[in-house]
Amino acid sequence: MSRPFSLYMLVGNPVSGSLSPAIHNAAFRALRMRALYVAVETPQGYLSQVVSASRFWTKGFNVTIPYKVDVMSLLDRLDRSASLVEAVNTVVNRKGVLVGYNTDGEGAMRALEKNLGPISGMRVVVLGAGGAARAIVFSLVQKGCQVVVANRTVSRAEALAAILRKKLGAEIRIIGLRKRELKKALSGSDLLINATSVGMLPHPEDTLVTADMLSPEVSVMDIVYKPLRTRLLREAEKAGCRTVDGLQMLVYQAALSFKLWTRRDPPLHTMMRAAKRAAEGRE
Ligand SMILES: NC(=O)c1ccc[n+]([C@@H]2O[C@H](COP(=O)([O-])OP(=O)(O)OC[C@H]3O[C@@H](n4cnc5c(N)ncnc54)[C@H](OP(=O)(O)O)[C@@H]3O)[C@@H](O)[C@H]2O)c1
């Protein structure tokens, strides 16, 4: 009898530019697993049908924009990682019971610690208050970091501060994106994380922070990975800062999903190599 075959998928819209299939399929090949990861472009109005089908056809799936919040009501259970942040990026199918997790925040923490060493207690400025920023800020606060959130829409940052207060009893500071305000916050910080979409293709020359606002004591992570070397990372290098690119977080969140689905140790080097190759368009 042939060995069982497992199907995994990415549910979102659009998904055509995603690197996740390349990352997971490289991992399956490396571990000689009979499994395939496919991107399923899910038009508005089809999410519940795709999730229903996933109970029979898949062992689990990832969720991306715009469904990370909407998918929650279609699942049977939420892990604390998802219920805290109120967003799901990974679903595990346990014999027909769909359990939602969020690996974005923990993925970002692993990427930071792998590249910069321990981060607990650091003073961190996070640019952005959207979905990715929210997951990252929750994880930073749980690591005992002091967090300043700078966002274009201040009310969105205030909403994030309110859920953090309610769920973790934690306080963060909120600022806007004015250069003077940002520079002052950065001067007393250890780490800057860009969790906005600023700098992403098709606007690779955009950045909220330039070299003159940074000093070498501040490490800089950009979670944008298209392009890989964003303008922010180039500005940070100019200022002598240590940098972490967006592929690192992408691969670590994928590795955490892989472990949840398969219970096997993810082949990190293989996944990182596949992500780089796919990001550089060599696939
Ligand atoms: N590396 C990874 O693993 C990973 C994982 C998830 C996401 N990402 C990337 O992270 C980025 C954000 O994703 P998301 O899911 O958090 O998106 P989102 O929920 O739509 O949030 C977007 C954020 O960017 C800000 N923003 C957008 N355009 C801006 C502009 N012109 N000036 C200033 N701020 C601006 C928004 O500010 P307002 O609140 O004012 O609108 C908001 O804070 C995307 O580029 C995504 O590809 C990377």
Model confidence pLDDT, tens digit, residues 246-278: 999 999 999 999 999 999 999 999 999 999 999
Which pLDDT score is estimated for 4? 86
Name all residues whose Cβ lies below 6 A of ligand 1.
65, 104, 128-133, 151-153, 156, 195-198, 200, 223-225, 246, 249-250, 253
pLDDT tops 50 at residue 283: no
CA dist 101 and 77 (Å) reads: 9
CA distances from 207 to 166, 204, 224 (A): 32, 8, 11
- Residue range 116-244 forms a domain whose CATH class is alpha beta
Tell me: the pLDDT tens digits for 47-83? Answer: 999 999 999 999 999 999 999 999 999 999 999 999 9
Burial 245-264 (b: 16+ CB within 10 A, else e): bbbbbbbbbbbbbbebbbee
Which atom from ligand 1 is nearest to the alpha carbon of 197?
Answer: 45
Residue 68, φ and ψ in degrees, nearest 5: -60, -30
Residue nearest to atom 42 of ligand 1 (CA): 130
Which pLDDT score is estimated for 2? 72
Question: Which of 59, 68, 184, 259 is an active site residue?
Answer: 68
Residue with tokens 């398969």: 262
Which atom from ligand 1 is nearest to the alpha carbon of 225?
Answer: 1
Distance 223 CA to ligand 1 centre (A): 9
Residue nearest to atom 24 of ligand 1 (CA): 196
Q: Are 110 and 133 in contact (CB under 8 A)?
A: no
Distance 50 CA to ligand 1 centre (A): 26
Distance 7 CA to ligand 1 centre (A): 29
Q: How many residues are there in the chain?
A: 283
Distance 198 CA to ligand 1 centre (A): 7
Residue nearest to atom 29 of ligand 1 (CA): 198
CA dist 70 and 13 (Å) reads: 13
Distance 243 CA to ligand 1 centre (A): 19
Known catalytic membership, residue 68:
yes
CA dist 255 and 249 (Å) reads: 10
CATH of domain 6-102+248-279: 3.40.50.10860
Tell me: the pLDDT tens digits for 132-158? Answer: 999 999 999 999 999 999 999 999 999
Which pLDDT score is estimated for 1? 59
Which atom from ligand 1 is nearest to the alpha carbon of 108?
Answer: 3
User: What is the full DSSP assignment across 132-156?
Assistant: HHHHHHHHHHHTT-EEEEE-SSHHH
pTM for the predicted model, two decimal places: 0.96
Which atom from ligand 1 is nearest to the alpha carbon of 65?
Answer: 15
Residue 145, φ and ψ in degrees, nearest 5: -85, 155
Residue nearest to atom 47 of ligand 1 (CA): 224
232 band by pLDDT with thresholds 50, 70 and 90: very high
Q: Are 82 and 102 in contact (CB under 8 A)?
A: yes
CA distances from 73 to 45, 66, 67, 167, 247 (A): 14, 14, 11, 20, 30
Q: Which of 16, 197, 205 to mutate to test the pocket of ligand 1 (most atoms within 8 A of CB)?
A: 197
CATH 3.40.50.10860 domain residues, the chain: 6-102+248-279
CATH 3.40.50.720 domain residues, the chain: 116-244
The chain-wide mean pLDDT, for the chain, equals: 96
Burial 156-185 (b: 16+ CB within 10 A, else e): bbeebbeebeeeeebebebbebeeeebeeb
Which pLDDT score is estimated for 3? 79
pLDDT tops 60 at residue 216: yes
Q: Which of 127, 152, 194, 244 to mutate to test the pocket of ligand 1 (most atoms within 8 A of CB)?
A: 152
Distance 194 CA to ligand 1 centre (A): 9
For residue 130, the cross-strand partners are none
The mean pLDDT of 226-255, rounded to a whole number, is 97
6 band by pLDDT with thresholds 50, 70 and 90: very high
Q: Are 119 and 145 in contact (CB under 8 A)?
A: yes
